[in-house]
Amino acid sequence: MGAEKTSPLAFGQVYDLFRGDEDFYFLCSASGRVLFTAGSLKLFLENDLTGRNLNDFLSDTLAANIIAAAFQKEYYEFQCELFGKNFRGAAEPSDGYIVVILFPVSEDGKAFIRKNSAQFISREISDQLSLMSAAVSLLRKEASQLSEAKKMDAPISVISQSIMRLLRLSRNMLDCALYENGSLPLYLHEGDLRAFCADLASRLHPICRKAEINLEWNLPKEPVVCLFDEEKVERMILNLISNAVRAGKNAPILIELSDRGSSVAITVTDRGGGISGESMSTAMNKHARASADHGSSSGGAGFGLALLRAFAARHGGTLILSSNAGGTSACISLPKNLEQERTAFNAVHLDYAGGFDHILLELSGVLGKEFYR
């Protein structure tokens, strides 16, 4: 469609239509450089347009028409294809910028967004929590100058811990959604899993000593070389430790690493009261909630064991639970070598914890607020 002198749908009305479930838009400078891409559009395209020029992903003619219409302060409608997906588009100048809103043409496109709503929600939550964390850091700095700074310490620590708990939940929710959509990446590294576990044990030691958490490690004497995603294996171990602390309170928790020839096994065993048969049947459901009477003020928010099963499966392995009155064991079995199609030695990935200490983040549900000062 060509440019029109009068907009049939004012930009404010168009934006109101898309503030809900399908918020597909991006913002350009007057010269056609993309300055901002809405999160849902990034997910839908699986590409971020930010930083690109219009003619990088649209035809030169269409890009020129959008810029020319904006220069004339005219509304412009068009149809286009982006990364194999069809759109009906509307571009309108606004305060020296160009706002481009895209309407998916096919019903399949709408279904895709509903399927990936967890991804979009998770990323939006993470963005807001990062801003909150920065504000809390500033508040803590300002409070330290006050005469009654100590009175501010406890509530600020509670806020900091709550931010970490929500960040952890948000990231777990995102990874579960990625796994269900078949797009959970692996960043594989060939290394010594024994040395990896020994390093994690040394980082955990001062925190566990202060929290009176009794961890016992049983590691082989020889190196255990295999392919594994360091971030995901670390999260699996810390998640199981967190569950064991809830269940066993002050009882010792045993972490064992064993070499089984073609596979390796990481087993975390607590000495709590065990899991009932009814709970065992739903324990790996992503919406299952841990019992609130297992050492925490509230039950678990879900995603934990479902996430571990997803991580193990992504490695080609398994997660097996066994429980009796004496306690619960969770065994993660991973193959030493992965088929080529499973590998993803692709790219340097961002820190999933957003710069926060991984241990404090993963154990935020069981540690006291004093750890978040």
Query: How does pLDDT run across 122-133, given as a tens digit for each residue?
Result: 777 877 887 788
In a domain, 303, yes or no: yes
Highest mean pLDDT among 171-175, 226-230, 335-339: 226-230
In a domain, 372, yes or no: no
In a domain, 196, yes or no: yes
Distance CA 164, CA 239 (A): 14
pLDDT at 1: 41
* Domain-ending residue, one of 97, 113, 129: 113
Query: Which residues have C-beta within 8 Å of that of residue 226, sequence separation ≥ 6?
Result: 190, 191, 193, 264, 334, 335, 336, 337
Average pLDDT value for residue range 21-40: 80
- For position 250, which CATH number holds? 3.30.565.10
In a domain, 373, yes or no: no
In a domain, 98, yes or no: yes
User: What are residue 28's phi and psi, to 5 degrees?
Assistant: -120, 155
Average pLDDT over the chain reads: 80
Whether 207 and 228 map to the same domain: the answer is yes
pLDDT at 38: 78
Give the range of the structural domain holding residue 134, as residue numbers without chain letter.
116-180
Which of 46-60, 130-144, 184-198, 224-238 has the lowest average pLDDT? Answer: 130-144
Whether 291 and 348 map to the same domain: the answer is yes
When divided into structural domains, the chain yields a total of: 3
Whether 212 and 175 map to the same domain: the answer is no
**Residue 183 predicted with pLDDT over 60:** yes
Distance CA 6, CA 16 (A): 19
Q: What is the pLDDT of residues 209-259, one digit of tens each?
A: 999 999 999 999 999 999 899 999 999 999 999 989 988 767 899 999 999
Average pLDDT value for residue range 291-316: 66
Is pTM beyond 0.85 here? Answer: no
Distance CA 51, CA 262 (A): 46
pLDDT at 57: 92
Between 284 and 2, name the one with better pLDDT. 284
Which of 100-104, 154-158, 201-205, 337-341 has the lowest average pLDDT? Answer: 337-341
